[in-house]
Structure 1
Amino acid sequence: MTAACSNETAQGGASGTKAGGSSQADPATSEVPDGSQEEEEPPADPALAALVNKTHPLQNSYAPDDLVAIEVPTIFQNSEVNQLRKGAAEALKELFAGAEKDGYKLYARSGYRSYETQQALFADYVSREGEGAANRYSARAGQSEHQTGLAMDVTSDSVSKGLTEQFGETEEGRWLAENAHLYGFIIRYPKGREDITGYIYEPWHIRYLGNELATKVFESGLTYEEYLSGNEAS
């Protein structure tokens, strides 16, 4: 199973029609959900810790105001998906350099995606495989972390630069899982936790939280949803 970044969208920058209605959360204004973070120092930028998922969507008008072009090897010539928020972009560059130092070559496949791009992408998957299947591996518009500018899909030559669960079994994928937190990222959708995250295992999808929070989530062994709610891993 592949991810929510299709070749068509990444290459062509597909657009969609903006949906009406309001959403529940905006990382620029929303607070971190109650739970394990209550007694901790809040991040300098609360948006870094914002929970975005099927029950905590973004406003359809939200777009980060500090997007920059990433400076790492990429797959597509689409300027939109080759962006992240400034801090995340700098951290990604350091992560890729760290991987290269250890002998691993990584590629950035899909970063920031606008509400409209995600809307078109999800609709494409629904037309191909049906809504039920699409909802397991692709986010609806407003529910994607990619819209925050803090998420990146990462791949390698060992999986033909694609997005597949097999990436998690490669040397590059294992390195990423073991070291991403050192650069401020987490594997957002871990194996066997679809009932919690709402999405299938995605060893390629990393989310920037900043070094301190990412390390705490990594060391907890929890999904981000569980970490924020203070639940124990089952």
Structure 2
Amino acid sequence: MKEKKVLMVRVVLILVCLAIFVTCFWAMNQTYDPLARYPYATEENRETILQHLDSEDIEYIISNQIRPEEFLEFIDEPGFDVRYCRLYTIAKQTQDESNAYIVNFVNRYRSHFSMSTLETLLQHYSYLDLTTFYENELASHENLALISDPSSPLIVLNDSTSVYKYVPDHLTSIQGVSLKEEAAQAFQNMEEAYRSMIGQDQSLSLEKGYIPYDQIFTEYTSWNALNAQYCDEVFLPAGQNEFQLGYTVALTGYNDWVRQCLEKETIYRQNQYDEILETYDETMIQKITWLEDNAYRYGFVIRYPQGKEEQTGQLYNPFVLRYVGQENAKTMRESDRVMEEMKLEELE
């Protein structure tokens, strides 16, 4: 009998303790502050944060030390995701648009950029251009990589890279074509040197400089009609063509060279260019030779030299020069390498 009483007392004590625990837990839960560990909560923003963010979101802003000013501006927008708030902020600060537009843009295309590349992209491309590139260009060329910073004179374009509709800044006019200022000045210096060495009645006449996307598209269509199979070996499509960068020039003779390359089957099959060179007079051959020997002194390289077709993916063209700066041009000449063979750390 005594043992039963002891057992009953124990059961009652357990039930009382359990009731006390449940009551305390309920009371604590009623007074628990989800933002207690968030040092940036204020009376002004507390209600808004609790209204829009669930417990996982709150834990995210706490663990990542995200300040209210990084997300409150966008918190009311449909589709807002606190995990992308810093991307929203970067986009807004770099290229202003409505908050709704930015949230939708980031949410839709976030797999194509990171926090480190988004700012650079928006410094060089519009939202519209990025949208059409992601929607249209990648649909037909899924392995095509958009260059985030196309302003560098060391950018290499080919069939797997693109600057889409990028338009370089700081362009200046020289001989009726546009070039980046530093490239134009270097070309002017080179032409003056050429005249002083060869003769004042001689010149390095430019046929092409910077070419905008739409014009390259038109030219590519024309060359493609002449020889669709090998067109990409002499003139790359819009977005992938280095004439869009403002650092590439083509001297007089370029169009004729491209046309002959596309018309003569032995050229693109055997890389034999004598048939074309034989059509030029002594003055033109002298110019080609001078450029091969001296262009590097002024920061230019023959962009598609003979013997490097496999590396560049392009046929030899003595009339295409690319400005890379004097030190880089010297390094490439001394090592007999083209841009595709250079490591970034070797270039200045």
Change over 3 Å in CA distance of 1:144–1:210 after alignment to 2: same
Instruction: Show the counterpart of 2:225.
Output: 127
Correspondence for 2:149 among 29, 38, 62:
29
Is residue 175 from structure 1 mapped to residue 290 from structure 2 by the alignment? yes
Per-residue deviation, 1:106: 1.6
- State the Cα deviation string for residues 121-175 of structure 1 (Å, max 9, x = none): 1111112222x121111111111110000000113xxx69954652797111111
Is residue 111 from structure 1 mapped to residue 215 from structure 2 by the alignment? no
Distance, in Å, in 2 between the alignment partners of 1:108 and 1:215 is: 23
Distance, in Å, in 2 between the alignment partners of 1:160 and 1:125 is: 13
Distance, in Å, in 2 between the alignment partners of 1:55 and 1:162 is: 27
Distance, in Å, in 2 between the alignment partners of 1:69 and 1:192 is: 33
Q: Determine which structure has the larger helix proportion and give its number.
A: 2
| 1:107 and 1:161 in contact (8 A); partners too | no
Is residue 189 from structure 1 mapped to residue 304 from structure 2 by the alignment? yes
| 2:165 and 2:239 in contact (8 A); partners too | no
* Structure 1 residues 40-119: aligned runs within 5 Å: 47-58=152-163, 60-70=164-174, 72=175, 82-103=177-198, 104-119=202-217
Change over 3 Å in CA distance of 1:25–1:101 after alignment to 2: farther
Classify the secondary structure of the residue corresponding to 1:21: helix
Distance, in Å, in 2 between the alignment partners of 1:120 and 1:61 is: 14
Instruction: Show the counterpart of 1:204.
Output: 319
* Structure 1 residues 134-153: aligned runs within 5 Å: 134-153=231-250
Change over 3 Å in CA distance of 1:216–1:182 after alignment to 2: same
Superposed structure 1 runs of 4+ greater than 4 Å apart: 159-162
| Structure 2: segments with no counterpart, 5+ residues | 1-131, 139-143, 259-275
| 2:209 and 2:250 in contact (8 A); partners too | yes
Per-residue deviation, 1:61: 2.3
Letter in 1 for 2:179: L
Distance, in Å, in 1 between the alignment partners of 2:179 and 2:213 is: 15
Per-residue deviation, 1:52: 1.8
Classify the secondary structure of the residue corresponding to 1:207: strand
Identity of aligned residues (%): 26
Letter in 2 for 1:64: P
Distance, in Å, in 1 between the alignment partners of 2:226 and 2:334 is: 38
Distance, in Å, in 2 between the alignment partners of 1:204 and 1:160 is: 5
| 1:68 and 1:85 in contact (8 A); partners too | yes
Distance, in Å, in 1 between the alignment partners of 2:238 and 2:254 is: 28
Per-residue deviation, 1:178: 0.8
Distance, in Å, in 2 between the alignment partners of 1:124 and 1:161 is: 12
Distance, in Å, in 1 between the alignment partners of 2:255 and 2:240 is: 25
| 2:303 and 2:322 in contact (8 A); partners too | yes
Per-residue deviation, 1:179: 0.7
| Structure 1: segments with no counterpart, 5+ residues | 1-17, 31-45, 73-78
Instruction: Show the counterpart of 1:40.
Output: none
| 1:181 and 1:215 in contact (8 A); partners too | yes
Change over 3 Å in CA distance of 1:160–1:127 after alignment to 2: closer
Classify the secondary structure of the residue corresponding to 1:49: coil
Q: How many residues align?
A: 183
Letter in 2 for 1:180: A
| 2:254 and 2:317 in contact (8 A); partners too | no
Classify the secondary structure of the residue corresponding to 2:160: coil
| 1:182 and 1:215 in contact (8 A); partners too | yes
Rg larger in 1 or in 2?
Answer: 2
- State the Cα deviation string for residues 26-67 of structure 1 (Å, max 9, x = none): 3x726xxxxxxxxxxxxxxx7011122222221x22110111
